[in-house]
Amino acid sequence: MLLVHCPYCDETLPELEFTYGGEAHIARPENPADKTDDEWRDFLFIRTNVKGPHFERWRHAHGCGRFFNAVRDTVSDRFLTTYKADAPRPDLAVLLADASMKEPSK
Amino acid sequence: MTTFRVPGRGRVLHNRPVSFTFDGMTYQGLEGDTVASALIANGVQLMGRSFKYHRPRGPMAAGSEEPNALIGTRRGKGRFEPNTRATVQEIWNGLETNSQNKYPSLKFDVGAINDRAYMLFSAGFYYKTFMWPRSFWDKYYEPFIRAAAGLGVSPSEPDPDNYASRYLHTDVLIIGAGPAGLASARAAATAGLRVTLVDENSEPGGTLLSEPQASLDGTPAWDWLSAELDALTDLDVRIMTRTTAIGYYHQNMIALCQKLTDHQEKPAEGAPRERMWRVRAKQVILAQGALEKPLVFDGNDRPGVMLAGSAQTYLNRYGVRVGNKAVIVTSHDSAWYAAFDLASAGTQIEAIVDTRPTPNADLIKEAAARGITVLPGHTATGTSGRLRIKSVRVNKVENGKVLNARNISCDSLLICGGWTPTLHLFSHTKGSLKWDDESQTFLPDRITEECQIAGAGRGLWGIASALNDGAVMGAAAAKALGKSATTQTVTVANDRPGTGESHTELPTDLDPGKARAFVDYQNDVTAKDLRLAVREGMRSIEHVKRYTTNGMATDQGKMSNINGLNIAADALGKKQPEVGLTTFRPPYTPTSFGAFAGYHKGEHFEVTRKTPIDSWAEENGAVFEPVSLWRRAWYFPKDGEDMDAAVRRECRETRKSLGMFDASTLGKIEVVGPDAVEFMNRMYTNPWTKLAPGRTRYGLLLGDDGFIRDDGVIGRLSDDRFHITTTTGGAARVLNMMEDYLQTEWPDLKVWLTSTTEQWSTIALNGPNARNLIEPFVEGLDISDAAFPHMSIAECTFAGFPARLFRVSFTGELGFEINVPARHGRALWEKLFDAGQKYDICPYGTETMHVLRAEKGFIIVGQDTDGTVTPYDAGAGWAIGKNKPDFVGMRALNRPDLTAEGRKQLVGLLTEDGTSKLEEGAQIVLDPNQPIPMKMVGHVTSSYHSDAAGRPIALALVEGGHGKTGDTVYIPMPDRTIKATITGTTFYDPEGARLKL
């Protein structure tokens, strides 16, 4: 079971309190009517499916109820960071550099 | 009877005899014995039959890695467990045990015919044999495979035991209480950390229990151990025995299964049998030691063949000699010590056969001093003896040539092919392993969790190096937590570090194709099978494993994986690391389902949600059905009525006069705020701006993909307040979806959402007398048709309770839904029921609700829709606010796929004979005479007998259904084909006249 840091509660808590919410930073277009069929298809269905650091949404469903964003490595299942829903997308290079500093010692 | 017990020896209590049974025979053992040690003490080596060939087998090991000695244990009624390892089960007075996989008896087993026919049962046997002809599959092959499959017999009664579960947070968790684990615990505890030390055995000590000859800082090993355990207890170290770390999960979460009562003769009443611990540790130290490997040669599996280290454990820990005349075959120094210990205890050592041409000179000297024959540079090429080994065939090997054989008679053959670090838990963390050429094994490499590996787990042999490494790793764990530990160095005398070599199959002068050289004892995989798999094209070790089943038995290849890898690598002509290693997965040892389930069984398996009116329904004979987590009254049978009769009566009485229904499970969400109406406009398909306070509307909720997610009646209480109802099962999902849009897409909207499902009790009243019943209860509100028309909402006082009153109908009759604070639900229900007697009020359940709504063509989301149905498909296009700029799902409704011809659309179906009731889920075709497989054009979604319509009615999704009204379709069933006509979806009162009373 993962431990997840809720950026609103500022607490690291068991995964049981959280639900996964799909890929992050996919904003719903302001004026959907202006979008072509293909653009709307992409918004609905096309996801990156990365192997490695993945920007994704979580909800502290059994806590404060807030949606927030996270960067999680889909290979190691390790969270690089979590941040509030309105915070900008973090720089992956910086996150990865930070993470490599925190690797468990050999 | 011969006894192999050595008086006064071992940690068993010689003055505490215990009697137990094995296959119906009573045996005496001692307190502290396992079933295996007690049986060996009685001269019994034959404990089971192998899985595939039914070969007679005895224990190979003395611990949890045992592949052969699997027994059934019975601890009273319902307490039967198959596949228990005899080497782990402790004995107590009255324990009943049985051997497995034999018929009619362990000594004479007809299944052993498989052994004679072994040439047929090679790798891939099932794949090759059970292929053709196709017609044999159902009648012969499948029954045969099913009969042959499985190990042991499943228990047939419900498990009467309790299982507990707990969480534990600890600074340092140490797995394995041998020398390395004990030293780690000492170091970490001196740093002031909370330390938990667990071990799967019945007592801590690990190797120290099997090596009493060692002396630590001048103290005999067992005295040192006892003092050390006292010291750890004084340092508040939590020591847990019979506790197996079964899995190592993310972020240092470890699952421990603690066995609490299986070793007890009279467990306390109601005591849990096992307890599952979920441990979150800041640091983990894996001090699990190493497991001994067998040597691979023809006949290496006869009863009496055993790992040398295990024989040493039986002698030193349990006071049992494994035999009178033993031969040792080894490629590692460690087995020599087993020989010396046994010799001292009175076993005749016929020879020490070492595959190495020049073993350690000190060992040779010691053997010479004891008069033991040493055969260096030899190989073992066969054994004899059916139910117990009689002799071993050995040959000298010179310059790669296997010379003439000699037979040495014996009753025990102790083998050792070196040691494999126990890294199963480390593998669970995806920690990587590195092949070490010198020790010919995998050692830990890259660590992914906050953990340290100490002692034999990282290839360090001997008590001294394990102790000292444990202390270092304990200090390292402390340092990682910002603490400093004092480490003590222990001086060890009579330590037994050693080295050895690793082999594939031992060389032989006989036809290797005929050798029964076992690699995986539990799954009966031989070296020949592995080589055959490679010859037949398996290249990856993962394929070799699955084709041969090597390492796939319940022991997960604890003894067989490295031997299997060595042989596969040799056959492939590659180095071991190029061939790779298969993955170990939790649990480390077989774990009971009860331990996983813990408290979550029976009534506690999942939550049962009940409404405040549920108790009345129960007292009044309701039959219940589960609806999501809710338990809902299904129907209320009167004496002798079956479901059909009860539902017909409930429908009839409701339409005739008055029915009452507990609708409290309906999801309810309160939407409040200055932007509430804008939020509603964006979420639901309908227009809300012009809905006046005091009015309600049927709301339809889509996903952004355009498909129906939920529906319900929504009331506007004031400009800034809506009372939403959702489907019973959809409440949480809908609120989650609304929160998602509100928080992440429209955070600028000033709206607050609150779940109020459990705050309100909701009673629905339907029927021509509904208003007559409630009028006297309502205060401060005119509920006449003119003042309070259909689809109205108001707050009022109802029977003295604060209430929200809806005029709404899910039945087509005049209807009201009264919401009162949940705590008043039952009181209100009873008042209405009493007052309703003069109208013959009829309580009805969910089934009648379903029939009444189907007669009106009202859909149930999730029954008549399935996640691919648009409002237009469902015939609910009227609910769409076409002039709104946007709502969730609006854009998608114009996608080409959603406007295409031939989509499945909701229609009514009437069977032509007027009596046949269709089956829900039945498939629909246009032409019943077309060849199979037929083209299916839809399916029945709802089907009931309708008294109001005087015939069965059905709803269905049919391709292009809206354009097919009046067409005939066919529903093929197993026994006949039913003819039906497509109709509209309203079967009763199409003008809606009954609503307007």
pLDDT tens sequence across B420-474 = 999 999 999 999 999 998 888 899 999 999 999 999 999 999 999 999 999 999 9
CA distance B243 to B228: 20
Average pLDDT over residues B80-88: 95
Instruction: Please state the rounded mean pLDDT for residues B893-912.
Output: 96
Is the torsion defined by CA of B648, B654, B656, B658 positive or negative?
positive
Chain A hits for B448, Cβ within 8 Å: 76, 104
- Mind telling me how many Å the CA of B558 is from chain A's nearest CA? 25
- % of chain B exceeding 90 in pLDDT: 88
SS3 B709: strand
Which of A19, A21, A33 minimises the CB distance to B886? A33
Whose CA is closest to B254, among B202, B196, B204?
A: B196
Cβ-count burial B102-139 (b if 16+ within 10 Å, e if not)? beeebeebebbebbeebeebbbbeeeeeeeeeeeeeee
Query: Could A85 and B740 be called an inter-chain contact, meaning their C-beta atoms sit closer than 8 Å?
Result: no
Burial B692-702 (b: 16+ CB within 10 A, else e): eeeebbbbbbb
Three-point CA angle B219, B223, B227, nearest 5°: 100
- B104 prior amide bond cis, ω within 30: yes
The verdict on a CB contact (< 8 Å) between B891 and A27 is no
Q: What is the pLDDT of residues B584-626, one digit of tens each?
A: 899 999 999 999 999 999 889 999 999 999 999 999 999 999 9
Pairing, β B215-216 against β B219-220: antiparallel
pLDDT for B363 beyond 50: yes
Question: Residue B989 has which token pair?
Answer: 């009162």
The percent of residues in chain B predicted with pLDDT above 70, rounded, is: 97
Domains and CATH numbers, chain B: 1-155 (3.10.20.440), 163-290+421-485 (3.50.50.60), 294-417 (3.50.50.60), 517-579 (1.10.10.1100), 901-996 (2.40.30.110)
Check CB contact under 8 Å for A67 and B743: yes
Residue B12, pLDDT above cutoff 90: yes
As a whole number of angstroms, the distance between CA B245 and CA B174 comes to: 10
Residue B674, judged by CB atoms within 10 A of its CB (0-12, 13-18, 19+), counts as exposed
B272-279: average pLDDT: 98
Distance from CA of B957 to the nearest CA of A (A): 25
Chain B residues touching A104 at Cβ < 8 A: 447-451
CA B422 to chain centre: 24
Q: How many angstroms separate the CA atoms of B339 and B345, rounded?
A: 10
Q: A86 and B705: CB-CB below 8 Å? A: no
Q: What is the mean pLDDT of residues B529-541?
A: 93
Q: Across the interface, which of B447, B740, B891 has its CB nearest the CB of A104? A: B447
Nearest CB neighbour to B250, from listed A1, A33, A41: A1
Burial class (CB in 10 A: 0-12, 13-18, 19+), A28: middle
Report CA B547 to chain centroid distance, whole Å: 25
Of A37, A77, A86, the CB nearest to B895: A37
With beta carbons less than 8 A apart as the criterion, state whether B229 and B239 touch: yes
Partner-chain contact B744 A35, CB within 8 Å = no
> Which residue of chain A has the CA closest to B253?
A1
The confidence score (pLDDT) of residue A101 equals 72
- Tokens standing for B851? 């029939």
Span B657-685, average pLDDT = 98
Q: Cβ B744–A57 below 8 Å, yes or no? A: yes
Amino acid (1-letter code) at residue B883: N
**Higher local confidence (pLDDT), B238 or B120:** B238
Terminus-to-terminus CA distance in chain B, angstroms? 96
Contacts of B743 in chain A (CB under 8 A): 66-67, 85
* pLDDT at A103 (0 to 100): 62
C-alpha torsion sign, points B650, B654, B660, B664: positive
Q: Is B479 on the interface with A (CB under 8 A)?
A: no
Q: Do A76 and B704 touch (CB under 8 A)?
A: no
Q: What is the pLDDT of residue B104?
A: 75
Give chain A's contact residues with B (Cβ, < 8 Å).
1-3, 19, 21, 27-28, 31-33, 35, 37, 40-41, 43-44, 57, 59, 61, 65-67, 76-78, 85-86, 104-106
Interface test with B, best of A30, A35, A59, A75 (most B CBs within 10 A): A59
ipTM of predicted complex: 0.96
pLDDT band for position A105 (cuts 50, 70, 90): very low
Please report residues of A whose CB lies closer than 8 A to that of B251.
1-3
Residues in chain B: 997
CA atoms within 13 A on the CB side of B947: 15
**CA-CA distance, B351 to B349, in Å (whole number)?**
6
Q: Flag if B447 and A37 touch (Cβ within 8 Å).
A: no
Contacts with A, B 673-712, CB within 8 Å: 704-705
B480 and chain A: CB distance < 8 Å anywhere? yes
- What token pair was written down for B996? 């307007």
Contact B745 A61 (CB under 8 A): no
pLDDT of amino acid B146: 67
Cβ proximity of B5 and B320 under 8 Å: yes
| The two structure tokens encoding residue B561 | 């994986």
pLDDT in tens, B106-116: 887 777 777 77
Output the pLDDT for position B130: 65
Give the number of other CB atoms < 10 A from CB of residue B384.
Answer: 13
- B895 touching A, CB under 8 A? yes
What's the pLDDT at B726? 98
3-state SS, residue B465: helix
Closest chain A residue by Cα to residue B444:
A106
Q: What is the mean pLDDT of residues B2-30?
A: 95
What structural domains and CATH numbers belong to chain A?
3-28+37-102 (3.30.2270.10)
Averaged pLDDT for residues B927-950: 96
DSSP B206-264: THHHH-TT-EETTEEHHHHHHHHHHHHHHTT-EEE-SEEEEEEEGGGEEEEEEE-STT-
Query: Using one digit for the tens of pLDDT, what is the confidence trace for A64-99?
Result: 999 999 999 999 899 999 999 999 999 999 999 888
Which residues on chain B are in Cβ contact (under 8 Å) with A32?
886, 890-891
Q: Considering only CB atoms, which chain A residues are within 8 Å of B896?
A: 37
Strand partners, B220: B215
A78 CB neighbours in chain B (<8 A) are: 250
In whole angstroms, give the CA distance from residue B806 to residue B593. Answer: 49
**In chain B, which residues have their Cβ closer than 8 Å to the Cβ of A27?**
745
Residue of B nearest to A21 (CA): B740
Lowest mean pLDDT among B118-132, B262-276, B342-356: B118-132
Decide if pLDDT at B678 tops 50.
yes
Condensed to tens digits (0 to 9), the pLDDT of residues B385-398 reads: 999 999 999 999 99
B794-807 average pLDDT score? 98
From chain A, pick out residues whose CB is under 8 angstroms from the CB of B432: none
Mean pLDDT, chain A, rounded, equals 93
Instruction: Note whether A19 contacts B740, CB cutoff 8 Å.
Output: no
B164 contact A CB<8A: no
Mean pLDDT of chain B: 95
pLDDT at A106: 41
Residue in chain B lying closest to A75 (CA): B430
Sequence-distant contacts of B727-730: CB under 8 A, at least 24 apart: B727/B666, B727/B667, B727/B860, B727/B861, B727/B862, B728/B627, B728/B628, B728/B630, B728/B632, B728/B665, B728/B666, B728/B667, B729/B627, B729/B628, B729/B862, B730/B667, B730/B861, B730/B862
Q: Does B426 touch chain A (CB under 8 A)?
A: no
Cα R_g (chain B), whole angstroms: 38
Segment B978-992, tens digit of pLDDT: 999 999 999 999 999
